[in-house]
Amino acid sequence: MTFDVELRKLAPSALIPLLDLLDRHKIKCTFFILGRLADRSPEVPAEIISHDHEIACHGYAHDPYDKKPFNYVKTDIEKGTAAVSKICDVVGFRAPYFRPHKKLARILENLGYHYDSSVPSKRFDLFIGRTNNPYNLLAPATPYSPSRENIFQRGSSRILEIPLASFGLPLLGVVMRNMGLKLFITLKNFISTFSDLIMFDIHIWEFLEASDDPVKRQTIFFHRRRKGKETLQMFEAFLNYLEQKGKFVMLSTLAEDIRSTRRTL
């Protein structure tokens, strides 16, 4: 269970009810924080840490990396890492929009990261979303050591890649809100047939009412549908379902467990 936190100004109406919900369910999660937000609103990650959740890095400026030059990506990650590291130690990374640079593993390895979660394996948005990279379709669906030259392929990097669960459509909050919970659970159950690890991700702005969202998304129907309280209610119903099927872990814990298992093999 992961959350992407990107807004420069984050209304308490989104974050506090969510943290309270997670406390009630005794679930600890990973929050990917944008470096720009960490610089301007350090109280946001501080509040998340006070609830014992993991903070990971989401870059700095929130530009997709797949079309950017290597040096631009490297600089953005270094800047984001420096900003978030002022608040706490970070071992995990996620590229903006789940659109990583092919050589992302090389950058992260040099910065001392333990894991990455940028590859939406088996995802293809059919041109209705932002992620239509054919490399996603060929990427492994379960955690793997990626190539330093191609994050979508297995290799010998020390970084562990933990992919987002997908099959065509990804297990994202925006998909859940638009499909409805029943169909979304059907998608999740199908993905479970080829992957024991199910990683779901949702953006904090999805828990905001439209009137509180500083980024006006009203022009995109599938972004504005069932936002705010409706999202929180649907999310809790999804949590109730998942609690019957398995356990929740922070990605840093999962990465360390996988690394420890490999060391003993």
Tell me what percent of the residues of the chain surpass a pLDDT of 90. Answer: 70
Tokens 């356990």, residue? 247
- Looking at per-residue pLDDT, the higher value among 96 and 195 belongs to 96
Q: In 10 A of CB 246, how many CB atoms?
A: 11
Q: How far is CA 212 from CA 43, 45, 87, 231, in A?
A: 18, 19, 26, 14
pLDDT on residue 29: 97
* 163's tokens: 């992919």
Q: How far is CA 131 from CA 64, 137, 155, in A?
A: 10, 11, 23
Cα dihedral 21/26/28/34 (nearest 10): 20
**Nearest 5°: phi and psi at 33?**
-105, 130
Q: Which of 47-51, 116-120, 132-136, 238-242 has the lowest mean pLDDT?
A: 132-136
| Integer Cα distance of 77 and 102 in angstroms | 14
In degrees, to the nearest 5, what angle opens at C-alpha 216 toward C-alphas 214 and 219?
170
pTM for this predicted structure: 0.92
Question: What's the whole-number mean pLDDT along residues 107-121?
Answer: 96
Residue-range domains of the chain with CATH: 2-264 (3.20.20.370)
| Integer Cα distance of 122 and 193 in angstroms | 14
- Give the chain's mean pLDDT: 89
DSSP states along 18-42: HHHHHHHHT---EEEE-HHHHHH-T
